[in-house]
Amino acid sequence: MPFLTPDAPPADPAEFLTRPRQERIHFLATFWAEFGFGTPKMVHTIYIVKLLVLSIGGGIALATLTSDVGGMFDVGAWWDEPVIYQKIVLWTLFLELFGIGGTWGPLAAHFKPMTGGIAYWARPDTIRLPPWPGKVPFTAGDNRSVFDVLLYLVTLGSFMYAIVAGSSTSIGGLGGIEMVDPVLMAVSAGLLVLCGLRDKILFLAARGEQYVPILVISALAGSVLTFTDFIVAAKVIIVIVWVGASISKLTPLFELVIPPMVSNAPFVPKALKRAHFRSLPDDLNPSRLAWVMAHVLGTLAELAVPLVLLFSTNWTITLLAVSSMVLFHLFITQTFPLAVPLEWNIVFSYITIFLFAGHFAGDGYGVGDFSEGWMLPVLVALLVFFPVLGNLRPDLVSFLPSMRQYSGNWASATWAFKPGAEAKLNQLKKPAKNQVDQLIEGMGYEPDVAEMTMQMTLAWRAMHAQGRGLFSVMQNYLGEEYETYSLREAEFCCNAIIGWNFGDGHLHDDQLIEAIQKRIGFEPGEFVVVWVESQPLHKKTQEYFVMDAALGIVERGTWLVADCVKTQPWLPDGPVPVEVTYRHPDHHPELAQPPRAHA
């Protein structure tokens, strides 16, 4: 177990790069099954130190020093205090929006520099992506202005100011309980929403879909909501996050998430990693163990245990349920998933303890204890709107507000560049070069080693159903040139261009490609994207498009999810069948394999 050096695939990089692409994917996917990304343990240590010292230690220190709840190490005095809950949420918002929470460091393809976030969003003329530029006034355009930078910095400052100066025991209607000033919480929520309307990247990076509801109920505490209402509303918020995520996992796509996630866990024995696959190296689909992990310890537990927490008035059962959800989040944390949402998982572990053990339903904090009958149905209706819409119409809602975290059902993409064309992306105004250049120039990798490292991400994507569809369409479109283009995982490329991604293909769809093309001007055929939308819960297909940056969208079609699930990452039987529904007149003229009819 090397500490300073990575686990490297057992092949000469120069020779490896001469092999056919699908053979390379097979080789690297098999390597991933046993070693994950091969990240040196030093990198995991950096993440652990950051989590313990900055995220947890810094948050607790700041929250306790600015509140009248006792010292940092007097845990018994503050663990169930609502003001600490509020300030931990604000601190997490600050870290995420600064860019040192999730999607930070090498596991998120920020090799050097390790921080995206503020380096992009406090810099005028970088790319921004408004969610509804043609519908919301004053949000059109894709260039970050000085106003955008100031709005971003003021929003960051509002989180910190609310922590440092905002708590009081004299807020009306709360009976002397210390909480953050509701006005400051309202200001923070409003500023973050404004940021999100100008640039959806910022709202999603702050994990606004998780935390803005908490800011809103905090802003209503003491006026519309009593203290009991506030606590029960907070319980409903977190339960809907869990239940929404569990429902989104009711597809075969989720089974494919577990094996590569467990394989990337640095402290899991290799034998246990292998056990999550049917038969290495010939069958990399999920084993029965992986199915149980996915749908019993994952889907079922994330659905049933939160409902127990919400309705239980039995102290023993509640404690068992609290422990179960804490272990659930700690399990995810120790796998070091590629988006690295470590802070989010730790915060949810703390929130679980605070809400359900610190404010036991049997003590008057149950779901039936709202002071007004309208509160529960209105709150639930507001909270489930985007998850329901996003799972039925994923084209309208990011997978994050849709609560599809870890579900395997994500919009995804693969980018393809003609030889030499990828380097043009370095012309964009951004503080970091392309990842392959970061590895070569910043980390001292040899070019062939850097390229082999980047292709690890393609193998990881191919271990999920979307990747198999993406590579199928890419083979169909590029034909014989499939072997000559440089292929890249779009999620990683997106990080280098806009500073953040969390597995959300809506951040690198045609909107981003058009913004890039406007600045660079690729020639036809130089930059090709295959992009796929998430699977709607009520459909068996996923919709894809092919986009040539210079020509626009040149092909649309669908594939059956079942076809992608049952094949292997390296497509041993050839591309999965697709149904083409549209072709541009200037569609690529040569197809190595024409689309096949579904069996």
pLDDT in tens, 341-362: 999 999 999 999 999 999 999 9
Quickly tell me which residue has 């390597």 as its tokens.
31
CA distance 170 to 173: 9
Q: How far apart are alpha carbons 593 and 92 in whole angstroms?
A: 49
Distance of CA 82 to the CA centre of its chain: 28
The strand ranges marked E within 45-177 are 167-168
Q: How far is it, in rounded angstroms, from Cα 503 to Cα 207?
A: 13
pLDDT tens profile 250-303? 988 999 999 999 999 999 999 999 999 999 999 999 999 999 999 999 999 999
Provide the pLDDT for residue 503: 86
Q: Output the six-digit token pair for 115.
A: 């921080």
Nearest partner of 224 among 386, 381, 379, judged by Cα: 379
pLDDT score of 595: 47
Report DSSP state, residue 226: -
Tell me the pTM: 0.94
The reported pLDDT for the residue numbered 588 is 64
584: Cβ contacts below 8 Å, ≥ 6 apart:
551, 552, 553, 554, 555
Tell me if 151 sits within 8 A of 191, measured CB to CB: yes
8 A C-beta contact, residue 112 and residue 180: no
Distance of CA 133 to the CA centre of its chain: 23
pLDDT exceeds 50 at position 598: no
Contact 94, 156 (CB under 8 A): yes
Chain-centroid distance, C-alpha 123: 23
Band (pLDDT 50/70/90 cuts) for residue 591 is: very low
Instruction: Look at residue 593 in the predicted model and tell me its pLDDT.
Output: 42
Res. 184: pLDDT tops 60: yes
Instruction: Tell me the pLDDT of the chain averaged across its residues.
Output: 95
- Helix or strand (DSSP H, E) at 248: helix 227-248
Asked if residue 588 lies in contact with residue 477, where contact means CB atoms within 8 angstroms, the answer is yes
Written as six digits, the tokens of 134 are 């043609």
* Distance of alpha carbon 98 from alpha carbon 116, whole angstroms: 9
Among 489, 43, 422, 430, smallest CA distance to 201 is for 430
What does the alpha-carbon distance between residue 351 and residue 231 come to, in Å, rounded to a whole number? Answer: 11
- Yes or no: say if 123 and 144 are a contact pair by the CB < 8 Å rule: yes
Q: Per-domain residue ranges for the chain?
A: 40-224, 227-403, 412-583
To which H or E segment does residue 472 belong? helix 465-478
- Per-residue confidence (pLDDT) for residue 2, from 0 to 100: 63
Q: Compute the C-alpha angle 93/94/98, nearest 5°.
A: 115
Collapsed DSSP state (helix, strand, coil) of residue 416:
strand
- For 61-116, the pLDDT digits (tens) are 999 999 999 999 999 999 999 999 999 999 999 999 999 999 999 999 999 999 99
Q: Are 397 and 469 in contact (CB under 8 A)?
A: no
132, 139 contact by CB (below 8 A): yes
Report whether 355 contacts 342 (CB < 8 A): no
Residues 304, 345, 179, 65: is their CA dihedral positive or negative? Answer: positive
Task: Report residue 534 CA to chain centroid gap.
Answer: 14
CB 500 within 8 A of CB 103: yes
Q: Which residues on adjacent β-strands are paired with residue 560?
A: 541
Q: CA-CA distances (angstroms) from residue 385 to 379, 381, 397, 452?
A: 10, 6, 10, 43
Q: What pLDDT, on a 0 to 100 scale, did the predictor assign at position 4?
A: 83
